[in-house]
Amino acid sequence: MLDLNDLRFFVQVVDKGGFAAAGRAYGAPKSTLSKRIAVLERAVGVRLIQRSSRSFGLTEIGREFYRHATAMVFEAEAAEALAAGRLAEPSGLVRVTAGLPLVQGVLARVLPGLALDYPKIQIDLHASDRFIDILQDGFDIAVRSHFTELTDSGLIQRRLRREEFWIVASPDFAAKNGPWLTPHDLTSAAAVMFPAAEPSWTLRSSTGQIVKVLPAARYFSNETTSLMEAAKQGVGLACIPSQFCFEEIAGGTLCRVLPTWQAGTVTITLLTASRRGQLPAVRLVSDLIAKAFQD
C-alpha cells in the first residue's frame, strides 16, 4: 500500500514545478521532499520524475501517475474535511471547462463575481472546444453545447437550457438588402457562416414548416463572436444562438430576420462527477452557472 503522504508530496512537487518551489510553498525542506519521492518511486518500481541540476519533468508514466495521484489526494482531503466538519463553508479549487462561445458569452461575465463573494474558492476556467474527459483531465465541471443527446458517461447531467438559432443582420444591411419575407428570400443573400461542406440553413417555422435555404457565403469562421461581429459590420446575414445575440438585438446593433422562424436548436448541459459534485464549492459554482444560463 502506498503512503498517502508521499502521494501528496508528489502532487505538490509537480504542481509547483520542482522540489525547491514546493519546499518554499509548503514549508518543507527540499531534501525531505526529494527523499519521500525517492521512497515513492521505489515503492512503485518506476521513475516518476526526471530531475537534474538544470531541469525538472515527469516521465511518461509519471504523467499518468500524477493524474491518478491527484484524484486520490483530492478524495482523501475531502474525507478529512468531512470528518472535521469543515465542509459547511465552500472553499478550495474548482476547475471548470467549457466551449469558447460559452466562456465568452456567459462564464467570463459571471464567475469573477463568485470569486469576489467567496474568497476561499479558487476558480480555474478553461476554454476549449475540443472533447475533454473531465475525470481524466481533473475538471470538476464541464459545460457543453450539443445538438444531439449526450451519451451516458456516468457523469451527472444537468440540462441548463435549449436555445434557438436566429437569423440576424445589421439594420443597415437589412435596409439595403431586405426585406426578407419568406425563407426563400434568403437564397443567394450574402451571409457569414460556420465552415461546412454545404453552407446551408434549415429553417423551421412556428407552425412546424421546414425549409432549407442556400445563402451566398462571403465570410467563414468557426467562432460565434467573430461571426456576430461580421454581421454587425454589415458583411451579411448570420445564424447565431439566441443567447449570444439577444443583447445586440435589444440594443439595436442587430435585428432579427424572419422572427417566426428558427434555424435549429442547441442544448446546453452542465456535467459533474458524482463525488466531486457533492462538494460545497463545486455545488455552489454549479448552481451559479445554472442560474446564469436560466436567467
C-alpha cell at 269: 448541459
Report CA 7 to chain centroid distance, whole Å: 28
Mean pLDDT over each residue of the chain, to the nearest integer = 85
Confidence of residue 259 (pLDDT cuts 50, 70, 90): very high
Supply the CATH number for residue 52's domain. Answer: 1.10.10.10
Range of the domain at 18: 4-63
Q: Is the per-residue pLDDT at 278 higher than 70?
A: no
Q: Is the per-residue pLDDT at 135 higher than 60?
A: yes
Give the pLDDT of residue 234. Answer: 95
Q: Is the per-residue pLDDT at 277 higher than 60?
A: no
72 part of a folded domain = no
Question: Are 173 and 253 contained in the same domain?
Answer: yes
Quote the number of domains for the chain. Answer: 3
83 part of a folded domain = no
Rounded distance between C-alpha atoms, residue 179 and residue 185, angstroms: 8
Supply the CATH number for residue 176's domain. Answer: 3.40.190.290
187 part of a folded domain = yes
Cis, peptide link before residue 199, omega less than 30° from 0: no
Question: Are 36 and 104 contained in the same domain?
Answer: no
73 part of a folded domain = no
Question: Are 183 and 220 contained in the same domain?
Answer: yes
Give the pLDDT of residue 73. Answer: 80
Rounded distance between C-alpha atoms, residue 172 and residue 35, angstroms: 70
Rounded distance between C-alpha atoms, residue 295 and residue 291, angstroms: 6
Candidates 188, 226, 23, 274; CA nearest to 286 is 274
Query: Which residues in 24-113 belong to E strands, given as ranges?
Result: 49-51, 56-58, 92-98
Q: What is the pLDDT of residues 215-241, one digit of tens each?
A: 999 999 988 889 999 999 999 999 998
Q: Is the per-residue pLDDT at 53 higher than 70?
A: no
Confidence of residue 21 (pLDDT cuts 50, 70, 90): confident
Confidence of residue 84 (pLDDT cuts 50, 70, 90): low
- Top-confidence range, 9-23, 71-85, 250-264: 250-264
Supply the CATH number for residue 108's domain. Answer: 3.40.190.10
Question: Are 168 and 150 contained in the same domain?
Answer: no
Q: What is the pLDDT of residues 179-219, one digit of tens each?
A: 999 999 999 999 999 887 578 899 999 888 999 999 999 99
Q: What is the pTM of this model?
A: 0.60
Give the pLDDT of residue 176. Answer: 94
Question: Are 205 and 239 contained in the same domain?
Answer: yes
134 part of a folded domain = yes
278 part of a folded domain = yes
- Top-confidence range, 137-151, 237-251, 272-286: 237-251
